[in-house]
Amino acid sequence: MFPQQELHPVSEFVSKYSPQLRQQIAVILSNNKMLNMYDDGEGSYDAEFQENDEIYNAEATLNQFGEVEDCYCSCHKECCDHIYTLLWCINKKQSSN
């Protein structure tokens, strides 16, 4: 999904989000479309999103340096809003620690 030759920290992905994308994420979160988010404490995160009676499951895996190694979403779109939102929330969580 993301270029594999270089890994980037979550904060770097988020810093490149366009204003439009940030707005979309704000709408998703304010409408409570992100149902929950799990953090296994070892770099794996996943979240469920509700959209038009469908539940989508987004996952992100970070390595020991906090760099995004892998992302997946069950909606099977390339770089979907679900993954963007999950990364956004991971970054928020990291920066509040």
Binding residues for Zn ion, per CB under 5 A? 56, 73, 75, 80, 82
CA–CA separation, 91 and 9 (whole Å): 9
Quick one: 77 or 92, whose CB is closer to Zn ion? Answer: 77
Minimum CB separation of residue 88 from Zn ion in Å reads 13
Ordered DSSP codes for 29-68: HHTT-EEEEEE-SSSEEEEEEEETTEEEEEEEEE-TTSBE
Minimum CB separation of residue 74 from Zn ion in Å reads 7
CA–CA separation, 77 and 83 (whole Å): 10
Quick one: 40 or 54, whose CB is closer to Zn ion? Answer: 54
Minimum CB separation of residue 81 from Zn ion in Å reads 7
Quick one: 77 or 93, whose CB is closer to Zn ion? Answer: 77
Minimum CB separation of residue 72 from Zn ion in Å reads 9
Quick one: 28 or 82, whose CB is closer to Zn ion? Answer: 82
Torsion of CA 25, 31, 92, 37, to 10 degrees: -110
